[in-house]
Amino acid sequence: MRRRTGAAARAIAFAAWLALGCSPEAPPQAPSPEALAAARSPGASVILLSIDTLRADRLGAYGYPRPTSPALDALASRGVRFARAVAESSWTLPSHVTLMTGLLPTAHGVRHVRQRPPAGLPMLAQVLGRAGYRTLAFVDGALLSGFHGFARGFERYEDRDKNLRETLELARQALDALPAERPYFLFLHTYDVHCPYDPPPEYALRFRTRPPEDHLETAGRCGKTDFNAMALTRGQARFLSDQYDGNIRAADDTLGEFVRWLDERNAFERTVLVVVSDHGEEFLEHGTIGHKNNLYIESLRVPLIVLAPKLRPRVVESGAGLADVMPTVLDLLDLPAPPTQGRSLLPAMLGASDDAPRPLPSQLWRAEGELRSVVAGDRHLILDTRTGDVELYHLGLDAGERLDLSWLARGSRGELLAALERRLEQPIPVRAESTGGLPADLTQQLRALGYVE
Ligand SMILES: [Zn+2]
């Protein structure tokens, strides 16, 4: 637990205590059934792009002052940007299973690299395939491999290790070859932003603020315990963070070319596009580098941008999770959704607001035990289920989560713990499937990314 002392901390604590006590009251404005129907696009194609490890606050559209993301910013200004999207876990596998099933990690049960979702669990590609969609995926392998169950429902699932440029080139070729009369679901995923923070040469110097002596090689070190525990200097962490920004800009420029290609085909007139990430990234804010370490906000806040033919641009302030993506996409297409623990964001995308901040849970299983977290509006509570320790932050007043208020705001703490329990309590009972041993080539990919030692 971190506690600050001094007048500034006391002032923040007092303001936070006042703010924690009250939930902003906004009258819910449910859109009419006619308005909802008019916003749907039955038969539209769907492109779902997951940019792995992309922190929301590193994008211009989310307030970052560096020019890391002109293409994503342009998409955000054309579509609906969710300002407060939260990932349900702080690493790739459980988060992507949530994205594709609409179930929280506690329900789908996928907690470590030797698990995959059970065969009977409906995944987005299966639902769309049954509705007559062509289903294609070009992903960057490792945890997104078919081995981990993600290929289910896809007629083509290309999961070899590759960069975003190759991924999008394959996607262009595949879309060109598709007959125009049937809609498609295209799932795209990239690790280009993920550690190693090693941008292409033309991007390596773009955001660098540190001298060469702070240079730190990350290839082969991602996710390693010794790397996370290394006594990195602030300068070295800053160096890595600058490189991460270079990775983002490189991926963004590549994405920009793909968006221009889609625009030339007027694809957005008949396509729903969802851009999302599976978790954020840490640069020593709370003592570690990378992700899968904890549930602080830098690991959880992700971009979520939705474009659809009949949706007008908007910024949505109410909370959203990855579990909402499947019900939202199916609602936009006017297709029935299987039971999920998310909800359709279509009303929010038409301006409806919640009467109280919606609790958004996240979970992480570590060797030391399970961490749980809940974000509700500006409040973020983290629970260590092994020790019972609780931390509570006010994101509006303390975006970096440096002042733990759990000792001060007992009422808020109890309220959020109860909300967390309620959200995790609605399990749709399934049990993750064991994958058994990992194939050698997959183990190698996972080692490079830091998911196995
Ligand atoms: Zn990831």
Taking residues 6-35, what's their average pLDDT?
65
Is the pLDDT assigned to residue 263 strictly greater than 90? yes
Q: Contact 197/240 with Cβ under 8 angstroms?
A: yes
Looking at the chain, the whole-number percentage of residues with pLDDT higher than 70 is: 92
Closest CA to 297 of 398, 195, 180: 398
Q: Kindly report, residue by residue over 277-295, the tens digit of the pLDDT.
A: 999 999 999 999 999 999 9
DSSP 48-97: EEEETT--GGGSGGGT-SS-S-HHHHHHHHHSEEETTEE-SSSSHHHHHH
DSSP 111-162: -STTEE--TTS--HHHHHHHTT-EEEEE---GGGSGGGTTTTT-SEEE-SS-
Q: Tell me the CA–centroid distance for residue 346 and ligand 1, in Å.
A: 26
Q: Tell me the CA–centroid distance for residue 30 and ligand 1, in Å.
A: 34
Q: Tell me the CA–centroid distance for residue 362 and ligand 1, in Å.
A: 14
Q: Tell me the CA–centroid distance for residue 263 and ligand 1, in Å.
A: 28
Give the phi and the psi of residue 283 in degrees, each rounded to 5.
Answer: -130, 65
Q: Tell me the CA–centroid distance for residue 116 and ligand 1, in Å.
A: 15
Q: Tell me the CA–centroid distance for residue 351 and ligand 1, in Å.
A: 30
Taking residues 100-119, what's their average pLDDT?
94
Q: Tell me the CA–centroid distance for residue 207 and ligand 1, in Å.
A: 23
pTM recorded for the entire structure? 0.94
Q: Tell me the CA–centroid distance for residue 15 and ligand 1, in Å.
A: 35
Q: Tell me the CA–centroid distance for residue 224 and ligand 1, in Å.
A: 15
Q: Contact 36/346 with Cβ under 8 angstroms?
A: yes
Better-scored residue on pLDDT, 102 or 180: 102
Say how far apart CA 290 and CA 91 lie, in whole Å: 10
What is the reported pLDDT for 7? 61
What is the reported pLDDT for 189? 98
Is the pLDDT assigned to residue 4 strictly greater than 60? no
Is the pLDDT assigned to residue 231 strictly greater than 80? no
Q: Tell me the CA–centroid distance for residue 90 and ligand 1, in Å.
A: 8
Query: And the tokens for 259?
Result: 């968006």
Say how far apart CA 174 and CA 172 lie, in whole Å: 5
Q: Kindly report, residue by residue over 389-422, the tens digit of the pLDDT.
A: 999 999 999 999 999 999 998 999 999 999 999 9
What is the reported pLDDT for 227? 74
Closest CA to 103 of 333, 338, 291: 338
| Mean pLDDT of the chain, nearest integer | 92
Query: And the tokens for 60?
Result: 């211009």
Q: Tell me the CA–centroid distance for residue 278 and ligand 1, in Å.
A: 5
Q: Contact 140/133 with Cβ under 8 angstroms?
A: no
Q: Tell me the CA–centroid distance for residue 93 and ligand 1, in Å.
A: 7
Q: Kindly report, residue by residue over 359-381, the tens digit of the pLDDT.
A: 999 999 999 999 999 999 999 99
Q: Tell me the CA–centroid distance for residue 144 and ligand 1, in Å.
A: 9
Q: Tell me the CA–centroid distance for residue 301 and ligand 1, in Å.
A: 13
What 8-state DSSP symbol labels residue 322? G
Q: Tell me the CA–centroid distance for residue 205 and ligand 1, in Å.
A: 25
CA distances from 1 to 70, 118, 166, 371, 392 (A): 38, 38, 44, 14, 10
What 8-state DSSP symbol labels residue 181? T
Q: Tell me the CA–centroid distance for residue 285 and ligand 1, in Å.
A: 19
Say how far apart CA 184 and CA 129 lie, in whole Å: 9
Q: Tell me the CA–centroid distance for residue 310 and ligand 1, in Å.
A: 31
What is the reported pLDDT for 228? 73
What is the reported pLDDT for 9? 65
What is the reported pLDDT for 224? 78
Q: Tell me the CA–centroid distance for residue 139 and ligand 1, in Å.
A: 12
Look at strands 85-86 and 301-302 and give their pairing.
antiparallel
Q: Tell me the CA–centroid distance for residue 52 and ligand 1, in Å.
A: 5
Q: Tell me the CA–centroid distance for residue 293 and ligand 1, in Å.
A: 12
Q: Tell me the CA–centroid distance for residue 452 and ligand 1, in Å.
A: 14
Say how far apart CA 244 and CA 250 lie, in whole Å: 10
Q: Tell me the CA–centroid distance for residue 364 and ligand 1, in Å.
A: 13
What 8-state DSSP symbol labels residue 403? S
Q: Tell me the CA–centroid distance for residue 230 and ligand 1, in Å.
A: 22
Q: Tell me the CA–centroid distance for residue 95 and ligand 1, in Å.
A: 8
What 8-state DSSP symbol labels residue 313? P
Q: Kindly report, residue by residue over 194-219, the tens digit of the pLDDT.
A: 999 999 989 999 999 999 898 888 88
Taking residues 426-451, what's their average pLDDT?
86
Better-scored residue on pLDDT, 419 or 8: 419
